[in-house]
Amino acid sequence: MPKPVTSIETIAACCIAGRLRLLNRVVTKLYDDALRPLGLKASQLNILILTAKLGLARPGQVCEILQLDASTLSRNVKPLQAHGWMEVVPGKDARAQPFRLTPKGERLIEKAVPAWEEAQRRASDLLGNEGTSLLDKAARKLGMP
């Protein structure tokens, strides 16, 4: 007589959240490893790129676009400022001061391109063409380009 499938086995075998979290850690490590020689993490590169696109980035706007809470954004921005890659633009509300890339930050992004390309290639190899296409489709559903 076959053994009945338990809830634990069902969740362990097919939980989307669990699989995505594992995949996120694996892929993030690929990018972090590639960017480490530059003193940069994938999470920080995402913030630098978005800031470059926005020109003048407001914390609330960045949090909304990247789906971050304010403390996570602050924790990631502080080292970027300390390295001189990003600067705060003084404003009326000290809690919501906008920030922008510095010329040094723009140069860092250009220096990061080869490392990013290598990580991108490795992540694409891991996901395969079908996986990459499905990821792109899901991202577009969330409003990403």
CA distances from 115 to 8, 53, 108, 109, 139 (A): 40, 20, 11, 10, 23
**7-141: CATH topology:** Arc Repressor Mutant, subunit A (1.10.10)
Q: In degrees rounded to 5, what are phi and psi of residue 98?
A: -70, 160
Quote the pTM value. Answer: 0.88
Cβ(50)–Cβ(80) below 8 Å: no
Structure tokens at 17: 């959240």
Query: Which residues sit opposite 57 in a β-bridge?
Result: 99
The domain spans of the chain are: 7-141
CB neighbours of 115 closer than 8 A, spacing ≥ 6? 34, 35, 37, 38
- What are the pLDDT tens digits along the chain (145 aa)? 667 778 998 998 899 999 999 999 999 999 999 999 999 999 999 999 999 999 999 999 999 999 999 999 999 999 999 999 999 998 777 667 899 999 999 999 999 999 999 999 999 999 999 999 999 999 999 887 7
